Amino acid sequence: MPRLFVALRPPAPVRAELMNLMGGVENARWQDETQLHLTLRFIGEVPPLQAQEIAAELGRVAMQPFSLGLRGVGHFERKGAAHTLWAGVADSPALGVLHGRVERACRRTGHPVETRRFAPHVTLARLNRSAGSIAGWLAAHGDFASIPWPVDHMILYESQLTASGACYDPVVRYPLRG
C-alpha cells in the first residue's frame, strides 16, 4: 500500500541554507538534501484506490501562491528526551490556510481527521539515546532565518522506508492557483 504525505519542498538555495545548519551534534542522523520538506499532511498507508481519490481531491485545492520563510530552530521531545531537530517556519497565515484546505481534501475522501496540532517545520536530524547534547547547536542556530521563497506548488509524496532511512518519491505536483 502506498505511504503518502503532502509537502512543500523548499527551493535549492533554501535547502543549501538548511544543509549549512547540519553538524555539531554527536551521533545525530542528519537528513540528506533529498529529504528536506515541510509536511502539510501525513496521510500514511492507504489502499491504491483511496490514494487515487486523495490525489484527485488534492488537485481541487485552490490557493493563491504565497511567500514563505524559515525562522529559528528547535527540537521535539518524547518522554523528556529530544528525538528531532528542526528548522521552524516564519509566521504565515497563508500556510495555515493551505494546511486547512489540504486537511479538508483528505477528509472528503474519508481519510480520518488529523488529531495532532499542525506544527510546521523542516526536519533536520533524528536523535536517539546516543546523540550528544543539543544545547550548543540550538544556541548557535537560534537566530536562523532563511531567504523567503514563493510557494507556488505542493507535492504528494510516496514514502519508502528502508534500512538506511526514508526515501521520498514525488507522485503529483499541484500548482497553486486561485
Kindly report, residue by residue over 94-106, the tens digit of the pLDDT.
Answer: 999 999 999 999 9
Give me the residues of the chain with pLDDT under 50, please.
Answer: none
Domain 3-175 -> CATH class: alpha beta
User: What grid cell was written down for 136?
Assistant: 550548543
Catalytically annotated residue among 75, 99, 121, 141: 121
Known catalytic membership, residue 111: no
- What confidence tens digit (pLDDT) does each residue in 117-137 have? 999 999 999 999 999 999 999
Known catalytic membership, residue 153: no
Q: Would you state the pLDDT for residue 130?
A: 92
Q: Would you state the pLDDT for residue 161?
A: 84
Among candidates 20, 52, 22, 54, which has minimal Cα distance to 40? 54
Backbone angles phi, psi at 55, to 5 degrees: -60, -45
Q: Would you state the pLDDT for residue 143?
A: 97
Q: In the chain, which ranges are continuous DSSP H helix?
A: 12-19, 48-58, 93-108, 135-141
How many secondary structure helices (H) and strands (E) does the chain include? Answer: 4, 10
Q: Would you state the pLDDT for residue 163?
A: 79
Q: Would you state the pLDDT for residue 169?
A: 95
Q: Would you state the pLDDT for residue 164?
A: 74
Measured on CA atoms in the order 38, 42, 48, 53, is the torsion positive or negative?
negative
Q: Are 28 and 126 in contact (CB under 8 A)?
A: yes
Catalytically annotated residue among 37, 75, 99, 111: 37
Q: Would you state the pLDDT for residue 145?
A: 98
Query: Domain limits of the chain?
Result: 3-175
pTM of the model: 0.94
| Count of Cβ atoms closer than 10 Å to residue 93 Cβ | 8
